[in-house]
Chains A and B, each alone.
Chain A
Amino acid sequence: MITIENLHFAYSRKKSLFKDLNLELHPGKIYGLLGKNGTGKSSLLKLIIGVLFPKKGSITIEKFQSSQRHPDLLSDVFFLSEDYELPAISIKSFVKANAPLYKKFDENMFYEFIDLFEVAKDSNLQKLSFGQKKKVLISFGLATNARYLLFDEPTNGLDIPSKSQFRKVLLKGFREDQIMVISTHQIRDLNQLIESVIIIENGQIIFKKDVFELEEKLVFTKSLSETPENNTIYTESVAGGYIHVGPNESGVASEVELEVLFNAVVKDKNSFTETLQS
């Protein structure tokens, strides 16, 4: 479990990024970390892996403080940052260089994912495109069998077929004892993957709900009419019509449109909280 307690963090003395932030992440879930630009999604992930230190408060992963960067913890954490640098060596050499540091690394699993992503095994990393490099890192991350997988904008740079491959690979590689946190702006790419939604705004977690609960309590209706139906709490125009969000009175679960949900929560968090509590 990842526990964040009373987290304060700032890059400068004048403006703090997180104030008294609290969050608990449990195994067996894929969390979607959503927020506008500059709200601190990437910083939160960096704080969790211990490459940034909290000014106050604590981040505990199992028995370790993340800022200690204890090797036993680091071998159980894999972070894919938005930007990365890969050496000018072959994929095989990359595995040979890095795999011994991860106790549970599974080489067969790595090459299985590489095959799924359709990346040539004997390629030199420097000659791969941005998206292909990302595929190598995602495959490596999953093959480490780390229990904490943190991905920052993983679908950036991936072409359309690769996004679908990414979802397949992620679902194939994910286990019930793992926690996966995906920070993204491209919610549509991950709509069917995310199991719990976390929204950050103004240095706070303003929303944290399981998609399962949202499906039960909210209904996302597509309509040609802009006029809201009864009890509609949010309406958004989309290509070819409108999406209305309201309380689910029929009891039949409806698919959650994460992008609409995000816009709705950011616009009026209180209406959502009331609807979800009722």
Chain B
Amino acid sequence: MSFSLARFFSLVKRDFIIYKKPVIYLAIGFILIMGFLSWIGYASQNITDFKFWFTWFLMALMGGGLLLTSVAFWEFKSPAGRIQYLSLPASNLEKFATRHIYTLIVYPFLILSLFTVLYMILSSFYPNISIGSEDRFMIKMFMKTYVLAHSVVIICGIYFNKYVAPKTMITGWAIFFISLLIGLFLVRIIFHDMFSGFFQKKMDIDVTMDAEFQEWLEIGIQDKLNAILLNVLPIFFWVVAYFKMKEKEV
């Protein structure tokens, strides 16, 4: 595994020269959309409603960001593109890191900055707009959720060559349903004496949790689970994505 800052910046420069035009068009499109949203907000008298803006923030962050992540390795869509990109004189880690940083750090930062600027402009016109601590917590949670979702999508972006977004969604749903089924079967097997039919609960059994146990589950386990899910799992997935990059062939 080798990493050189000079090569990393050469890759960034290369990407900037090659994708300069699409990035400019994207930025102009974004600004136009923001203007349009402000107009909608103004017309529907929602302009001072935090929820209105928060929904669009989420759309931009999750929808836009994950879509961008799915096409982060745009060159992989054709065999010629794959040959050219994989044979570029830079290490797999450098190639992976550049696209990772654009989608994980640069894009969310730009979105956050854009909405912050918008908030500052609006609050100068409408002083009653404010972001409460609960709103800040929600923004923080969704940023963390984006990090987790990003780590999964980037694996798919490397693994799939074409139609990454739909393939990722199908794979995600498939994994979700399979996990759900496995979970249900495990519950059925472990707590077999609580069921009369295949999934029919016996009516005479009280399944209410002990209050102390419930508290331990909610405070002790849930927090730990959240921490693992939002902090540890993304790192694990990034390592997997890097290895996928290393194994990538034409």
- Tell me if A128 counts as interface (CB < 8 A to partner B): no
Asked if A79 and B10 sit within 8 Å, CB to CB, the answer is no
B71–chain A nearest beta-carbon distance, Å: 15
Stretch from A47-55, A157-165, A226-234 contacting the other chain: A47-55
Residues in B neighbouring A175, C-beta threshold 8 A: none
Within the assembled complex, what's the spacing in Å between the Cα atoms of A50 and B246?
A: 11
Asked if B17 and A100 sit within 8 Å, CB to CB, the answer is no
Within the assembled complex, what's the spacing in Å between the Cα atoms of A74 and B87?
A: 6
A87–chain B nearest beta-carbon distance, Å: 5
Contact A85:B84 (CB < 8 A) given known A69-B92, A74-B89: yes
Stretch from A88-96, A111-119, A194-202 contacting the other chain: A88-96
- Which secondary structure characterizes the binding site on chain A? loop
Contact A88:B80 (CB < 8 A) given known A51-B249, A71-B91, A97-B14: no
Residues in A neighbouring B250, C-beta threshold 8 A: 46, 51-52
Task: State which of B84, B87, B94 has its C-beta within 8 Å of the C-beta of A50.
Answer: B87
Asked if A101 and B88 sit within 8 Å, CB to CB, the answer is yes
Residues in A neighbouring B21, C-beta threshold 8 A: 88
A84–chain B nearest beta-carbon distance, Å: 5
Contact A71:B87 (CB < 8 A) given known A51-B82, A97-B13, A97-B17: no
Residues in B neighbouring A39, C-beta threshold 8 A: none
Q: How many residues of chain B get a CB closer than 8 Å to chain A's CBs? A: 30
- Tell me if A81 counts as interface (CB < 8 A to partner B): yes
Asked if A77 and B17 sit within 8 Å, CB to CB, the answer is no
Asked if A71 and B78 sit within 8 Å, CB to CB, the answer is no
Interface centre among B4, B7, B18, B246 (most CB of A within 10 A): B18
- Tell me if A83 counts as interface (CB < 8 A to partner B): yes
Contact A83:B79 (CB < 8 A) given known A51-B249, A101-B89: yes
Count contacts between A and B, CB distance < 8 Å. Answer: 77
Residues in A neighbouring B229, C-beta threshold 8 A: none
A52–chain B nearest beta-carbon distance, Å: 5
Asked if A101 and B11 sit within 8 Å, CB to CB, the answer is yes
Asked if A71 and B4 sit within 8 Å, CB to CB, the answer is yes
Asked if B86 and A101 sit within 8 Å, CB to CB, the answer is no
Contact A93:B7 (CB < 8 A) given known A69-B92, A71-B90: no
Within 8 A of B (CB), among A53-93: 53, 69-71, 74-75, 77, 79, 81, 83-85, 87-89, 93
Q: Name the residue of chain A whose CB is nearest to the CB of B248.
A: A51
Q: Name the residue of chain B whose CB is nearest to the CB of A137.
A: B84
Within the assembled complex, what's the spacing in Å between the Cα atoms of A69 and B250?
A: 13
Within the assembled complex, what's the spacing in Å between the Cα atoms of A74 and B250?
A: 16
Within 8 A of A (CB), among B167-182: none
Asked if A69 and B86 sit within 8 Å, CB to CB, the answer is yes
Within the assembled complex, what's the spacing in Å between the Cα atoms of A98 and B17?
A: 10
B6–chain A nearest beta-carbon distance, Å: 8
Residues in B neighbouring A101, C-beta threshold 8 A: 7, 10-11, 14, 88-90
- Tell me if A102 counts as interface (CB < 8 A to partner B): yes
Asked if B84 and A84 sit within 8 Å, CB to CB, the answer is yes
What are 30 contact pairs spanning A and B, CB under 8 A? A46-B83, A46-B250, A49-B87, A51-B83, A51-B87, A53-B249, A69-B86, A69-B91, A71-B90, A71-B94, A74-B87, A74-B88, A74-B90, A83-B78, A83-B79, A84-B80, A84-B83, A85-B78, A85-B80, A87-B18, A89-B18, A96-B13, A97-B13, A97-B18, A100-B10, A100-B13, A100-B14, A101-B88, A101-B90, A102-B89
Which A-B residue pairs are the 10 nearest by beta carbons?
A75-B89, A74-B89, A97-B17, A100-B10, A83-B80, A97-B14, A51-B250, A87-B18, A101-B89, A51-B86
